[in-house]
Amino acid sequence: MVLDFLRGLFGRKHRLPIDRVTRAPRAAKKEAQAHIDGMQAALDQLGALDGIADIGTAKRLPKGTEGLWREFLGHYDEYLKIASTHLKLDEAVRPGTPEGRRSCYVAPFGVTGLESLVIFRTVRLWRDFPDIAQRLAKAGEQLFKDIQGHHAGADPEKIRMTGPAVMQGRLQNARRLVPCPLLDEERGRCRVWEIRPLVCRGHFVTGDPERSDPTREDYVDLPAKNLRLPIHQQVAHVQLEKRLGLELTPFLYANILVLLQLVEGQMLPEIGEPPTRIGPDGIAVRKANRNKGSAKKHKGKGRRR
């Protein structure tokens, strides 16, 4: 155990291009202070919501959870915009765009429970969700197999998330060139762009986008910048994650399916939201548009003559 700790502390770091953290300049943080304060305020309000620690048992989110997370993301995006300008990343390519779609071969890693909750609430309403769920299951299963294949320990379940097996397995998985199931392959755009994971938001490819292809030998040395939350907000986010108590993995694909199992195939509503009816085909039933003449305004009654 001690040797593992020392290797993790002083040994060679096993990181993919999307894992190498870039520090934002002090001047950028100073300019973005209002948005840093906004992120902290949103996290504080999320942590103070009544029932935020009971989601796993209540199978509901406190009222206002998603709105506060989106508010947090808005401030984070403004922070990224300021920091990227200071780092001269305006021309950099980003995942989830047609130019940066090659980066979407690397499965999002280090995704928290709160991020997963909001993403789940969005994708659960998609008409093609049953197909997406199958693709998530297949992609997640293959990812874990690739990671376990590089694990040298006796117990395949005991894998350090910062160890070499995770990096090597993620790289092997990316080289299969299977795109993220949440990517619109025809348009080359992320379907959850507004609420995409933080690791995807902060990844900027500064080199030739062609080198984002994980099958290339020089991929691991891809020039890239990865902006993360300021340290105080990172700590606050981790503390909030502990309060949730959901014990989700750092892998988004698995998290979506775990949440689906938690709610027994249903939606994960906020308190006060009307229930979402799920049809026998697993698709959310949309409410009829009563502004249309063809809508059934009076169920069970005939039309007036």
Cα–Cα distance measured from residue 228 to residue 280, given in angstroms and rounded to the nearest whole number: 41
Q: What is the pLDDT of residues 86-139, one digit of tens each?
A: 999 999 999 999 999 999 999 999 999 999 999 999 999 999 999 999 999 999
CA 218 vs CA 51, 101, 166, 196: distances in Å: 48, 18, 19, 27
Backbone angles phi, psi at 255, to 5 degrees: -60, -40
For residues 41 and 240, give the distance between their C-alpha atoms in angstroms, rounded to a whole number.
Answer: 13
pLDDT computed for residue 152 by the predictor: 79
Bridge-partner residues for 205, per DSSP?
Answer: 93, 224
pLDDT(9) > 70: no
User: 193-197, 235-239, 301-305: which has the minimum mean pLDDT?
Assistant: 301-305
Per-residue pLDDT band for 161 (boundaries 50, 70, 90) equals confident
What is the pLDDT confidence band of residue 204, given thresholds at 50, 70 and 90? Answer: very high
Q: Enter the pTM of the model.
A: 0.88
- Choose among 188, 149, 194, 193: nearest CA to 172: 149
pLDDT in tens, 256-281: 999 999 999 999 999 999 989 999 99
CA pair distance 63, 55, nearest whole angstrom: 11
Look up residue 78 and give its two tokens.
Answer: 């403004």
CA distances from 41 to 64, 111, 112, 233, 240 (A): 14, 21, 19, 10, 13
Residue 7: the pLDDT is: 42
